[in-house]
Structure 1
Amino acid sequence: MSAATPYQPIPNSFRRAVCGGETLIGCWASLASPIATELLGIIGFDWMLLDAEHAPNDVLTLIPQLMALKDSPSAPVVRPPANDSVFIKRLLDSGFSNFLVPFVDSADDAARAVAATRYPPQGIRGVSVSQRGNRYATVPDYFRIANDNVCVIVQIESRKAVESIDDILAVEGVDAVFVGPSDLAATHGHIGDPSHPDVQQSIAHVFERAKAAGKASGILAPVQADAERYIAMGSSVVAVCADMGLLKNAAQAVQHHFSQKQAARQ
């Protein structure tokens, strides 16, 4: 994706880039702040994940962040709190076109996620004639083209999901799979240690099976060395940082610098 071109939901350039295997570098946004999201969008990440699963976001806090990214090259991706068709419908009507659906453990789970994003007969999305997603009924042929302009990425976060990876990848409409390393580590009995060899073996397996299926894979990797290793392994949709971590790390570095200076003067 071009860092100079604002993202457009129709035609969905992010979905095209994901399905084309482009390496897309993203940033996680958990602060529920349109100002912070706007700033990070200006920086020029390929995509921004707006989190409603592990962050204090709802539709009314997500829409201002979506607005904040409107002139940004960063494609907004939303993570709903669950694989829930009603919440996904509300996010679609709010203007989101790219979804990261959490805890998809089976082909049935994946099929439900895809169906929630499609109008009938391909899915079960309810029809609202005028909503923010179709720019209040001003997008020509929206109902005809909407289904082909939604990107669905499903999260692989359990041993069951790893065991079912080929079936999940075979679901039509699943554009990519995305590893959640922390939850995956927990289900392996290694909570807090995604670097454990058992977990790393499962991550590599997901990447390999995605490549074999001709689909993209992704992962959250806020440690730079991890992100570079996963990209070298073939992962292409990689979140390399998070707003909360960036703020915390920068604040700690400044505080540490001046506390050390102060201690030296005493």
Structure 2
Amino acid sequence: MPAPVNTFKKALSEGETVFGCWVGLADTLSTELMGTAGFDWLVIDGEHGPNDLRSILAQLQVLEASDSHPVVRVPVGETYMLKQMLDAGAQTLLVPMVESADQARQLVRDVTYPPHGDRGVGYALSRAARFSQIADYGTTADAQICLLVQVENRKGLAALDDILAVDGIDGVFIGPADLAADMGHMGDSLHPDVQTAIMDALSRIRAAGKAPGILSTHDPMTEAAIAAGAQFVAVGADVLLLSHAAQALSARWKDPK
């Protein structure tokens, strides 16, 4: 029996545009709820959400019954973290702050089994291999792992073409907030200079045959990003959805106009 087909990776390879949402509340019930909303994919956020290995594992488990594909964002591209997330059952990883081709090449090695990579061979004990039930996991897993890297500062943009030339990178996500801050426009990812940089990067990623990704809660920006070639498009975050709805409801009754 081979490793399960990564439907998210398959969709990207076939040129589809898939829509997702950030999941940062670090709670299994809210993640399960998000899994019923109809998104193609959900990011379990280990960088800015209060998640650890066990909370991410629990959310992977509740999303198993969902049609939303889980994408795990690790806090940093450390080899041991990537190994743990893969063994926990994640098939798609999102790695922040990638700034060079050398860094990208090491990430590819981290998610690839020997002899071509450094991923530890302990799948017989792992959830990823259904606790040894997937006998062919070791020989089939590499093809189903989807590696997404985040380019989100000027150094990363300068190295983008080199990063795009690395075999094994499936997609490149442009981080608007960090890029805006690095360009001197903290909190203003809609600044014209930032928007120009984002749309140019998305076009270059698509032209290189990789999948471009973006997070945008501003509809005109989202539409421009799709027009520029974005394929995996996050259009919201559970934290913002709850916070904004709660504030609006409170204001409706406490501060009626």
Shared fold (TM-score, shorter chain, > 0.5): yes
Matched, 1:119 2:119: no
After superposition, what is the alpha-carbon deviation per residue over 1:230-250, rounded to whole angstroms, capped at 9, x for unaligned? 112211111101000000011
Deviation at 1:175, TM superposition (A): 0.5
CA distance in 2, matches of 1:205, 1:83: 25
Deviation at 1:108, TM superposition (A): 0.8
CA distance in 2, matches of 1:132, 1:224: 38
8 Å Cα contact 2:18-2:232 kept in structure 1:
yes
8 Å Cα contact 2:24-2:49 kept in structure 1:
yes
8 Å Cα contact 1:21-1:215 kept in structure 2:
no
1:188 to 183, 188, 196: 183
CA distance in 2, matches of 1:224, 1:114: 33
* TM-score after normalising by structure 1: 0.93
* TM-score after normalising by structure 2: 0.96
Q: How does 1:163-174 map to 2 (within 5 A)?
A: 163-174=158-169
CA distance in 2, matches of 1:193, 1:134: 43
Q: Secondary structure in 2 aligned to 1:218? A: strand
Deviation at 1:95, TM superposition (A): 0.5
CA distance in 2, matches of 1:89, 1:109: 16
1:210 to 200, 205, 212: 205
2:132 to 137, 153, 171: 137
Q: Which amino acid in structure 1 is aligned with residue 37 of structure 2?
A: I
| Residue in structure 1 matched with residue 152 of structure 2 by the alignment | 157
8 Å Cα contact 1:78-1:98 kept in structure 2:
yes
1:82 to 73, 76, 80: 76
CA distance in 1, matches of 2:223, 2:87: 36
| Residue in structure 2 matched with residue 32 of structure 1 by the alignment | 26
8 Å Cα contact 2:202-2:229 kept in structure 1:
yes
Counting aligned pairs with the same residue, the percent is 46
CA distance in 2, matches of 1:225, 1:213: 25
Q: Cα RMSD over matched residues?
A: 1.2
CA distance in 2, matches of 1:226, 1:246: 18
1:54 to 42, 45, 48: 48
CA distance in 2, matches of 1:201, 1:164: 17
Q: Secondary structure in 1 aligned to 2:42? A: strand
8 Å Cα contact 2:199-2:224 kept in structure 1:
no
Q: Which amino acid in structure 2 is aligned with residue 156 of structure 1?
A: V
Q: Which amino acid in structure 2 is aligned with residue 58 of structure 1?
A: D
Q: Which runs of 5+ in 2 are unaligned?
A: none
| Residue in structure 2 matched with residue 231 of structure 1 by the alignment | 226
Q: Which amino acid in structure 2 is aligned with residue 126 of structure 1?
A: G
Deviation at 1:57, TM superposition (A): 0.3
| Worse-matched range after superposition: 209-218 or 147-156 | 209-218
| Runs of at least 4 residues off by over 6 Å | none
8 Å Cα contact 1:27-1:242 kept in structure 2:
yes
Q: Which runs of 5+ in 1 are unaligned?
A: 1-8
CA distance in 2, matches of 1:201, 1:229: 10
1:95 to 64, 67, 89: 89
| Residue in structure 2 matched with residue 3 of structure 1 by the alignment | none
Q: Secondary structure in 2 aligned to 1:203? A: helix
| Residue in structure 2 matched with residue 64 of structure 1 by the alignment | 58
